[in-house]
Amino acid sequence: MSESRYFRPEIESLVGYTPGEQPQGGKFIKLNTNENPYPPSPRVLQAIRHTLESGLVRYPDPLATAFRQRAAEVLGVEPEWILCGNGSDDILTIVTRAFVGTGQILRLPSPSYVLYHTLAQIQGARSEEIDFRDDWTLPEAFYQSPPDLRLAFLPNPNSPSGTVVSRAEVGDLARRLPCPLLLDEAYADFADSHCVDLVREQERVLISRTLSKSYALAGLRFGFLIAQPQLIRRLVKVKDSYNCDALSIAGATAAIDDQLWLRENVARVRATRQRLATALEALGFTVTPSQANFVWCRHAERPARELYEQLKRNGLLVRYMDYPRWGDGLRISVGTDAQLDALLALLKTMV
């Protein structure tokens, strides 16, 4: 095709990241993209309405100062340690662009978030995928330092497994790597621990967070980075001038201000996660112990793809994943207790 010559070779060979299905209309129970099953804090809508009423004529604050101040208080850092983005995907893009050049190496664990690989490809970088060990710890290869290594991503908790690499292990990794280590803490609010204190200790540690999952705001698009200020100042140069819009800044600031809402929501999701895991095991699934708002499971007898398709025909969406070298399985988001009842009722007729 002639139009292909317009594109950089990296883009021509790119497959592109495929997000989980987002059916428009239809009455699916959606347990496939780890959205929160509950509505966000009511203060979020109030704040957005207020911003709408005062008008959208002016450009938003390029640094989202109001959010940085509130988030800094919540996390125990200073506002200069925070960079806001249009979802944490935007943060991951900024970090990749800033650190990794053409032909250089971006290290990823596998299986994990597929988008990382796409970011490396767009950049013309080489992504080096290193398989987790069977117990979901990192193998020695993840600690090695080839000359072109520029950045390592580690989702913690990981997706699709929901497992956590311990803080001691992460600290050790950051000390040994010669390059920045980005901890993607998209699911950390659902976990027993996080690594924010490591950012203070080690310049190399950067943490991305999102309001999409634990704050129930996937549609708002807001995420942020926590890193030492001398890094943030440079990363600001890479971002779009107005990467967060006025409505999302207002909504996100109200959301992070409502920590009571967060605690109650997380407690509910964690309780249902436990119920889900126990019930799946009773139906013959092997369930990986999860620290996130989803579980990864496989059935002893029924192939995962068949179960996925059968559930979908019955109006219930889960995520089917198939990884090279590692195999397939189902990633099921923790929904409401009523959604869980519907899932279990269907599964009981299938397995």
Ligand X SMILES: *Cc1c(COP(=O)(O)O)cnc(C)c1O
Which residues are at the interface with ligand X (CB under 6 A)?
A: 34, 87-89, 113, 155, 159, 184, 186, 210, 212-213, 218, 223
CB 302 within 8 A of CB 350: yes
User: What one-character DSSP code corresponds to residue 188?
Assistant: G
Residues 6+ apart with CB under 8 A from 251: 40, 44, 45, 47, 48, 217, 220, 222
CB 195 within 8 A of CB 185: yes
Integer Cα distance of 166 and 157 in angstroms: 10
Q: Which is nearer to ligand X, 159 or 339 (CB)?
A: 159
Q: Which is nearer to ligand X, 40 or 223 (CB)?
A: 223
Q: How far is CA 51 from the centre of its chain?
A: 28
- Cβ 38 to ligand X, closest distance in Å? 17
Q: Which is nearer to ligand X, 87 or 111 (CB)?
A: 87
Q: Which is nearer to ligand X, 88 or 123 (CB)?
A: 88
Q: Token digits for 4?
A: 């292909």
Integer Cα distance of 214 and 44 in angstroms: 14
Question: Which amino acid makes up residue 65?
Answer: T
Q: Which is nearer to ligand X, 67 or 346 (CB)?
A: 67
- Cβ 95 to ligand X, closest distance in Å? 12
Residues 6+ apart with CB under 8 A from 94: 83, 85, 225, 235, 238, 239
Q: Which is nearer to ligand X, 244 or 346 (CB)?
A: 244
Q: Which is nearer to ligand X, 89 or 257 (CB)?
A: 89
- Cβ 142 to ligand X, closest distance in Å? 17
Rounded to 10°, the helix 246-257/65-75 angle is 20
**Cα–Cα distance list, 38 to 34, 214, 261, 292 (Å):** 12, 10, 11, 16
Q: Which is nearer to ligand X, 41 or 88 (CB)?
A: 88
Strands 181-184, 223-226: pairing is unpaired
- Cβ 4 to ligand X, closest distance in Å? 29
- Cβ 118 to ligand X, closest distance in Å? 12
- Cβ 147 to ligand X, closest distance in Å? 28
- Cβ 226 to ligand X, closest distance in Å? 14
Q: Token digits for 292?
A: 């996130």
- Long-range pairs of 60-65 with CB within 8 A, sequence gap ≥ 24: 60/242, 60/244, 60/245, 60/246, 60/249, 61/246, 61/249, 62/241, 62/242, 63/236, 64/244, 64/249, 64/252, 64/253
- Cβ 216 to ligand X, closest distance in Å? 12
Q: Which is nearer to ligand X, 30 or 299 (CB)?
A: 30
- Cβ 344 to ligand X, closest distance in Å? 24
Burial of 20 (0-12, 13-18, 19+ CB in 10 A): middle
